[in-house]
Amino acid sequence: MTDTSSRPELPDRLSTNPKSPYFVEAIFEHDIGIRLNGKERTNVEEYCISEGWVKTPSPKARDRRGQPLLITLKGKVEAFYS
């Protein structure tokens, strides 16, 4: 059985980038999942539930620092603990 009381509540907006103001390290100690329009996504870098978008890395395009460019996908976003 999983103890759900020790897990922090998932925020409205979350980022995997430690430089982002929306990065919360305590949440990444647990496995989380993201659904966009009912389809589970595994490559989400950032999400916002209230605005209804997720950002995923582009497969080929890179910025001048070599980081992948982020593509914004819109729809119904659901975040959950796996």
Domain extent at residue 37: 8-81
For residue range 3-45, list pLDDT tens digits in order. 556 888 999 999 999 999 999 999 999 999 999 999 999 999 9
**In this structure, is residue 55 part of a structural domain?**
yes
The confidence score (pLDDT) of residue 50 equals: 96
**In this structure, is residue 3 part of a structural domain?**
no
**In this structure, is residue 21 part of a structural domain?**
yes
Q: What six digits make up the tokens of 2?
A: 């999983």
**pTM as predicted:** 0.84
| CB contact at 8 A, 14 and 22 | yes
Q: What six digits make up the tokens of 30?
A: 């647990």
Q: Provide the β-strand partners of residue 56.
A: 71
β-strands 68-74, 77-81: how paired?
A: unpaired
Split into its structural domains, the chain has a count of 1
d(CA 12, CA 1): 26
β-strands 32-36, 39-41: how paired?
A: antiparallel
The confidence score (pLDDT) of residue 4 equals: 57
The mean pLDDT of 47-74, rounded to a whole number, is 95
For residue range 49-61, list pLDDT tens digits in order. 999 999 999 999 9
